[in-house]
Structure 1
């Protein structure tokens, strides 16, 4: 990200989205987030310039973005169309109801067209982790924990994730 670029974070109030919003702001981006209605003030407090209720906001209602960070995994084509000509989209999720089509779309976008969709590798470099550490130490990125569950309540933790509306991360205490 470059200062002044426009960033859209889908799932701005969930675990990865919370960090994406804060990092975008720390990097000087103009940050927009999609979140549930009850979490709009929350993502605003994290640093968004605009926040929209995902339940009533259609992709066509949104402006163009230089970067789309997708933590939801649905409607890839609609959100890809929001990219500027040199824009890029990063996704950490795919549509579980249409897995083959979703994954094929992501793969094809890396070969065709200027506005590419990249999937997160899950193997961050030492340099990226060091950068993130500096942002945390400076207070620009703060971890947000929704709930801590003991290991014996892991099923309840999973149900909370499935229900949605989580703010930040759910932690399962193993010890």
Structure 2
């Protein structure tokens, strides 16, 4: 938790093992959550482990990212460590799952549109946001219809002589 103190990867690894993290035959560690699998890796600097990395595959769905932030924040609290999002550049809590999910979706859209990343292509085709809610559209249509009827009846009355 305190910046500058050595990272205790053994403590985090023990908690991850309790959460059911397992190693595949290729050596990659996987954390199975309700909404999908998360890859667990180590970040090394000058041969020293400085962090545990949680990698979520790019997609057009944000449920897994939200779950990772919430579970990761609980894990970090239990390990007396910090959960950091490098894209947002700050320490996260479970309440930050929405802002992380929004940033994740923007990244996935960019990767799908500009980089052609196959996993993220669906995110680049998200429907545009609705400009007006349906209830406002219906209200405008009704008011427009009433104005049209008023103008029509008024012009017919004038032509018929009153």
Task: Give the TM-score normalised by the residue count of structure 1.
Answer: 0.25
Point out the structure with the larger strand share. 1
Which gives a bigger RCO, structure 1 or 2 (Cα 8 Å, sep 6+)? 1
Larger radius of gyration, structure 1 or 2? Answer: 2
